[in-house]
Structure 1
Amino acid sequence: MRRLSAFLFLTAACLWLAAFGRDRFDLWVDATVLPDVLSEVSVEVRARDATLLRAFAVEDGRLRLALRLGAVDPTFIDMLIAYEDKRFFRHSGVDLRAGVRAAGQALRHGRVVSGGSTLTMQVARLLENSGTGSMAGKLRQMRFAWALERKLTKREILTLYLHHAPYGGAIEGLRAASLTWLGKEPARLTEAQAALLIALPQAPESRRPDRHPQAARAARARVLARLGRVPSYALPDVPRRMIALPRFAPHLSARLRRDFPTALRHDTTLDATLQARMQALARRAVMGQQADVSAAIVVADHQTGEVLAHVGSPAFSDAQGALGFVDMTAALRSPGSTLKPLVYGLAFDEGLVHPATLINDAPVVFGGYAPQNFDGAFRGMLTVRDALTLSLNIPPVRLTHAVGPARLMAGMRRAGLRPQLSGGAAGLAVALGGVGLRLEDLVQLYAGIAQGGQAQPLQFLRGGQTQRRSTIISPVAAWHLSHILSGIAPPKGVAAQAGQVAYKTGTSYGHRDAWAIGFDGRHVVGVWLGRPDGTPVPGAFGGDLAAPILFEAFDRIAPQRTPLSPPPAGTLIAGTADLPLPLQEFRSRDAAFAAVPDSPKLAFPPEGAVLRRSGFGVPIRVDAGTLPLTVLVDGLPVLPRLRSRAATLPLTDEGFARISVIDAKGRSTSVHIRLD
């Protein structure tokens, strides 16, 4: 009886000591101070198809790319666990059985044959950046591993390993290693590739394939041999160099990182293949040019506003001092003649001119401002179409005087542009480039013209918010501009047919900027060349430098051009003699609408009237004037030969409208109304 009592007492004591030890062990593990297990990963910029365009380094210049476990080849995962930690999914962080086995093997062979560290213990070492040589360090890793297993799932621990495993140099993590050493994502790996990526973290510097290829081959072979996966065919050689990660769209990437500092991934609208082609084209564009000449290119889909390629300079480097780092797509520059189409479009909508209207290219002075043509010559009377095609300076200044510089500035803002004046109010010189604009601004303006006069904001990120589109000019005015600009002959030496691309060139004062902006039925392209510091480039002209690059850019987008849009309904296509008398020759607004005896007058609606919309249109009544009358709405003839003084205009859409009446003697009147 006494023996039984003593046995029971000893058993109870042992159980109590075991429980006490377990509780103390739990307290010891739970008291472990863990570092932040959220891995800092590189900020990534991706193309529209998720292709990596740019990755930014994390602390100490290390490259560590985000990776989901599901994006890793299952063969790699199976081989990693089989080689490094067979009981990974069964132990609690420390595999005592494996540790005893490793110690026994070391005693028998006199050297380390296999390690006893589990994947969890390796994660502990990587997170703490601690060594493995001392018993204290090993004990710390064991404690850390037990604590990790209580806080994280096995999949989370495995993901941490795949993020932090070292692969030589500044490369950390499986995805960065796979891209750097193999040039591919780790979603699909051969057994030989998987074996190499398993072997490298054990001795990342002494097994680097670019420096120690023999050691890398031997380590790969050991992994395959231990796993029984030695192939019957000869293995390919290990990679002999690191593959630099792409640095496409570096200026845009840096901008996105700056503007969205908390985002880890930026999914852009860029086309990776087209981006590479445009970067190569920008480099070729400056070959043979004067020193420090840079180039910038923007390509967008004007139907969606998505930017497909964005090149801020030929090289994002210090090859040209600091100039290569300047993003010339966003730099304020003088747009030269590239604003002239907007001047003409506004004049079309005001009913001041038609493409067939005659306008006088002759000396003129507005106050103290006397504009001159680029070549210093004057051509006298010519059509508006020819004035724009020849890029003359005096006709658009005359039209800007009639439209008003403030209207021109407002038109730019409606297009989403951000014009900057050097000081004071806008003057007539704005029409010839006397305003600061960006290449991105001009691409957006021409995208709006290509879209029938509807502003088309540029989009750089996929899934961006759709912005409300405003009207820059009417669809008819936009088509007239497209038709005129598509009639400009391609530059010399360019194998392209006229009529495929509507484009305009520009050269700023002092030959500081050479521009070419153009579009077909789908894409809009903007090209700039010049010096980032604003110093002149003698002899630089938009037609000579930028236009050939523009057409080459279109060739690199697609071998065939998308046709331009047909004319919208109501477009007046006529020769000069067939136009209403006031449109046959341009006169200033004051001259065109000056009151003369018996000139027509709109008795209703009055100037500035706000009318309620109805399904019956807008009634008008005209006093005086000689019949028949011609009634125009926003410059378009609506009632061409009206033989009564009262009629109803088919106006039902909400917004502003300009009603003009011209009598048989060419006398006219005009009012602005609004329909609510």
Structure 2
Amino acid sequence: MRKPGPSKRAPKRKTFRWFVLAVASVLFCLVLIVGVGLFAFYIQLDRSLPSTQSLKNYHPPLVSSVYSADGELIGEFFIERRYLIPLKDVPAMMIKAFLAAEDVRFYEHGGVDFFGILRASFKNLQAGEIVQGGSTITQQVVKSLLLTPEKTLARKMKEALLAYRIDHTLSKDEILYLYLNQIYFGSGAYGVEAAARTYFNKHVQDLTLPEAALLAGLPKAPSRFSPFQHPAVARERQGYVLQRMAEVGFITPEEAQKAMAKPLQLAKPKHWTLKELDSFTEEVRRQVEARYGRDMLYKEGLTIHTTLDSKGQKIARKALDQGLRELDKRHKSYRGVHANVPREDWPGALRVLAQSNGELTQGKVVAAIVRSFDERSRACQIMFGKGEGKLPASGYEWTRVSAKRASKMFRAGDIIRVRLDKPLEDGSWMTVLEQDPGMEGALMAIAPDTGRVLVMVGGRNFEKSQFNRCTQAIRQPGSSFKPIIYAAALDKGYTEASILVDSPLVLDDHSLRGPWIPSNYDRKFWGPISLRKALVNSRNVVTVKLLDAIGVHYAIDYARKLGISAPLTPTLALALGASGLTLSELLTAYSPFAAQGERVEPYLVEKIYDRHGGLVEEHQVNRQQVISPQTAYLMTNLLEGVVLEGTGTKAKEIGRPAAGKTGTTNEMKDAWFIGFTPTVLAGVWVGYDDHNISLGKGETGGRAACPIWVYFMKEYMMNQPIDTFAIPEGIVFAKMNSYTGAISKSDEPGGTYAAFAGSLPTGRSGPDSELSEDLVTGSGSYTSSSESFFKSDLF
């Protein structure tokens, strides 16, 4: 029998075992290397991750809101338009809409939803486009607050790791709170509260289901789904959100259908452009930024309560615009149309006009396109975009054009500006031709007892010019400065009965080529007159003599006491308002006259609160008794005379006790009226920004500025009680002769009632005799330090 030999397969099996062992070793080494590499990569990735602790102290940029005294929102300042809102204030239906649209398993997963990623991928394959995302709400928080937005594998890994950490660091409600306040909704809105205000002009608590569904669909692609820019696409996205809510059981299919069928009432897009802001709000912004810095104003969500009367501000804008347009029409011819639109372009132009004109209301000035001109009636048929109107011949008679020229002045397609005069039965409007005035103006009103700025209109059109002519324009006040000189004289011992001499005056000045000869507006001299009559009728030469009698430096010190801080040139031209002031400064100087001798500084901000509701600032009224109540009343009495019988008689039209003073500078370059009632002190300035342009012949303060003051005060105080000026102790009244100053009996004809402090004057004594004899005879001399102040007469 044959013995078995060695097997031939044994070496093969041994070789195979060695091969397997070798491969396993290599694989083990590779796995080990990869594992070590991944571990090292993880360690490196982990070290590069930002800390999640900052999320516990969430401090996003917020909107700073500015409110009027009556609670109206008048401005917002921000880097990101966001209002922080607690999760408890977000309706449950709103939260469900976001969960359905973005992360239905939010309360179940651990920050990253792998099941959701698979579901989204399947849905996207079915639709042939990306309709769902795989990112969870937690991942979106990470992406928004902790990471940069680039799309790389490393960033996605970081996002997943951070999402996992956040989910184990914060509660689900805390994560949802961050998401709803941080996410961007388009149109400048960050967070759900800003989105609700932007798209529906509501607070988030007041949103309906259809509105909540539309907002929940925006974060996916805010620009693409914007209801302002792409309403059809936005509605489609809204339908998807409602469908998802029904699919997951948040609402019933019937509720979804009903919500989808309901039309949406979108708010008008508003981003607080210059059209919404004005001089007052800009001045508030400037002051708050100067006090607290730009970051505090634009990022810290301040709540700023101001002194503004929003109704009064609208009245002031309207009054200034009306007065300037009337002034412009008195002196300027029609400057022609803005442009001509070819007939084929009318549809597009009308759409633009409809948007820019806004709501058509009586008295509003709007742009229009001329449809046709009837040569027989000389009337234009015009179109506003949303309506039509008629411009009759009477509506442009101020242009003083002939009938022949009128047919050439209005061509079909011309764009003109008209004022909506009155509505007609057929829905159209009767109109009046308008044009934008070239001159500027300012109107400011304060409460004289506190300094609260009630209104501030710093120019005709804030959108075109943000220069605030209430606080920034330094202009010569003319005769509106005279009350300061007369108040100083009263405290020097003068009375309303003191006799001054209105006679020619020649003053030498070495800085000029010839002598300075101040004159009165009427170029006449009235001889001896009482101090009262001199101020009431704004006599120039008398005021120069009075200033010389009391002393220029004394008058400057007195002006400082009243609140004038601008440089005042120490010359006799100061009597005629030759040194430049702002309207705000002049109102401050008048405030003691209206407040029984107490001076207050005008202020705009009442209170400021921080983002948490903590008080940052509260204004404290600082009253300073700078003149006696008796002197203050005497000045009020004198300025009442200006209104009743002097240069400001137009102010009588407000139908209540008022005091004030007109002011006009050389060649009618500046017109002023500063006037007050017992409760409101208001001032108006009118002029061109170019100091060299005249307002026109005869445009004094009484004619150019006072009517604007009247338009404002008459409407603003319409429903307020009629008060009289309080009379302090020690004031007596008597009838006097306006030319001799002699006290007369009440039953004697002629004369004027005047007020006196303490006792009645007896004859010409005291300060009356201190008038320089040289000044009376006109042989005096005075040296000026500035040629410009003596070149012309101011009145």
The TM-score normalised by the length of structure 1 is: 0.72
> Would the aligned equivalents of 1:64 and 1:164 in 2 still touch at CA under 8 Å?
no
- 5 Å-filtered alignment, 1:44-193, equals 44-49=65-70, 51-56=72-77, 58=79, 63-69=80-86, 73-74=90-91, 77-83=94-100, 84-85=102-103, 88=106, 93-95=111-113, 98-99=116-117, 102=120, 114-127=132-145, 137-146=155-164, 157-158=175-176, 160-186=178-204, 188-193=206-211
Residues 1:480 and 2:634 aligned together: yes
The 1-side partners of 2:270 and 2:628 are apart by 52
Answer with 402-411 or 238-247: which moved more.
Answer: 238-247
Task: Please list the CA deviations of residues 405-427 of structure 1 after superposition, one character each: whole Å capped at 9, or x if unmatched.
Answer: 22222222222222223xxx512
**In 2, Cα distance between the equivalents of 1:68 and 1:105?**
34
Partner of 1:212: 230
Q: Contact (CA 8 Å) 1:285, 1:295: kept in 2 or not?
A: no
Kindly tell me: are residues 94 and 30 of structure 1, through their superposed partners in 2, closer, same or farther at Cα, counting changes over 3 Å?
A: farther
Between structures 1 and 2, the one with greater helix share: 2
Distance 1:125 1:515, change over 3 A: same
**Does the Cα contact within 8 Å between 2:138 and 2:163 map onto a contact in 1?**
yes
Moved more, 85-94 or 295-304: 85-94
Aligned-partner Cα distance in 1 for 2:734–2:651:
31
Counterpart residue number, 1:531: 688
Identity of aligned residues (%): 28
| Secondary structure, counterpart of 2:141 in structure 1 | helix
Rounded to whole Å, the distance in 2 between the matches of 1:147 and 1:286 is 66
Query: What is the SS of the residue equivalent to 1:572?
Result: strand
Provide closer, same or farther for how the CA distance between residues 219 and 107 of structure 1 changes in structure 2, counting only shifts above 3 A: closer
Q: Which moved more, 1:124-133 or 1:163-172?
A: 124-133
Correspondence for 1:441: 585
Counterpart of 1:343, as a letter, is I
Q: 1:360: which partner in 2?
A: 501
2:61 aligned to which of 27, 31, 40: 40
Task: Tell me by how many angstroms 1:206 deviates.
Answer: 1.8
Q: Hey, what does 1:304 align to over in structure 2?
A: 450
Measured in 2, the distance between the counterparts of 1:493 and 1:444 equals: 23
Q: How many Å separate the matches in 2 of 1:281 and 1:120?
A: 55
Q: Counterparts of 1:154 and 1:404 in 2: how far apart (Å)? A: 78
Structure 1 593/329 Cα, relative in aligned 2: closer, same or farther at 3 Å? closer
Alignment partner of 1:236 out of 263, 270, 277:
263
What pairs up with 1:364-379 in 2 under 5 angstroms?
A: 364-365=505-506, 370-379=517-526
Greater relative CO (CA pairs within 8 A, separation 6+): 2
Q: Which amino acid aligns with 2:604?
A: F
Distance change in 2, residues 1:301/1:152 (3 Å): farther
Q: Which of the residues 574, 593, 615 maps onto 2:734? A: 574
Residue of 709, 712, 716 corresponding to 1:557: 716
Residues 568, 86 of structure 1: CA spacing in aligned structure 2 closer, same or farther, 3 A cutoff?
Answer: farther
What amino acid maps onto 1:344 in structure 2?
Answer: Y
Displacement of 1:462: 1.1
Instruction: Give the drift of 1:274.
Output: 2.7
The residue aligned with 2:789 is none
Q: Is the 8 A contact 2:687 2:695 kept in 1?
A: no
Structure 2 match to 1:417: 564
Q: Which secondary structure state, in structure 1, belongs to the residue aligned with residue 311 of structure 2?
A: helix
Q: Which runs of 5+ in 1 are unaligned?
A: 1-20, 595-676
Match of 1:662 in 2: none
Instruction: Indicate the residue corresponding to 2:480 in structure 1.
Output: 338
Counterpart selection for 1:316 from 433, 444, 462:
462
Find the partner of 2:529 among 362, 378, 382: 382
Give the Cα–Cα distance (whole angstroms) in 2 for the partners of residues 514 and 334 of structure 1: 9
SS of the equivalent of 1:526 reads strand
Task: Tell me if 1:223 matches 2:241.
Answer: yes
> C-alpha deviations, 1:483-538, integer Å up to 9, x for none?
23234149687782555222222112232211111111212111111112322223
Is contact 1:334–1:435 with CA below 8 Å preserved after alignment?
Answer: yes
Q: Which amino acid aligns with 1:237?
A: L
| SS of aligned partner of 1:302 | coil
CA distance in 2, matches of 1:174, 1:519: 47
Determine if the alignment matches structure 1 residue 259 to structure 2 residue 406: no
Partner in structure 2 of residue 517 of structure 1: 674
Q: Is the Cα–Cα contact under 8 Å of residues 346 and 473 in structure 1 kept in the other structure? A: no
Pick aligned residue for 2:551 from 383, 404, 413: 404
Indicate which of 487, 490, 497 corresponds to 1:348.
490
Q: Distance in 2 between matches of 1:581 and 1:113?
A: 93
TM-fit CA distance, 1:244: 4.3
Letter in 2 for 1:207: F
> 1:279 aligned to 2:317?
yes
Distance 1:277 1:154 in 2: 52
Give the 3 Å change call, closer, same or farther, for CA 222–581 of structure 1 in structure 2.
Answer: closer
Q: Secondary structure at the match of 2:682?
A: strand
Partner of 2:433: none
The amino acid that maps onto 2:714 is D
1:345·1:473 contact (CA, 8 Å) conserved in 2? no
Aligned residues: 563
> How much has 1:171 moved relative to structure 2?
4.3
Distance change in 2, residues 1:443/1:32 (3 Å): same
SS class of match (2:445): strand
Where 1:436 maps in the other structure, the secondary structure is: coil
CA distance in 1, matches of 2:545, 2:719: 38
Corresponding residue for residue 701 of structure 2:
542
Counterpart of 1:202 in 2: which secondary structure? coil
Larger radius of gyration: 2
Change (3 A) 1:151 1:547: farther
1:274, 1:324 → 2: CA distance? Answer: 20
**Residue identity opposite 1:272 in structure 2:** S
Given that 2:493 and 2:767 are in contact with CA atoms closer than 8 Å, whether structure 1 keeps it comes out as no
Aligned residue for 1:200, secondary structure, equals coil
Of 238-247 and 83-92, the range deviating more from structure 2: 83-92
Aligned to 2:574: 430
- The separation in 2 between residues aligned to 1:209 and 1:408, in whole angstroms, is 65
How many Å apart are 1:441 and its aligned residue? 0.5
Q: Could you tell me how far 1:231 is from its partner in structure 2?
A: 7.4
Query: Residue 451 of structure 1 is aligned with which of 567, 576, 595?
Result: 595
Moved more, 552-561 or 340-349: 552-561
- Cα RMSD (Å) of the superposition? 3.9
2:263 aligned partner, one-letter code: P
Q: Are residues 327 and 197 of structure 1, via their aligned partners in 2, closer, same or farther at CA, if it must alter by over 3 Å?
A: farther
- DSSP-derived class of the 1:518 partner: strand
Q: Output the CA distance in 2 between the equivalents of 1:34 and 1:47.
A: 42
Shift in Å, 1:547: 0.8
SS in structure 2 at match of 1:297? strand
Q: CA distance change for structure 1 residues 379 and 498 in 2, over 3 Å: closer, same or farther?
A: farther
Q: 1:211 to 1:301 in 2, by over 3 A?
A: same
Shift of 1:452: 0.8
Paired residues of 2:493 and 2:766 also in contact (CA < 8 A): no
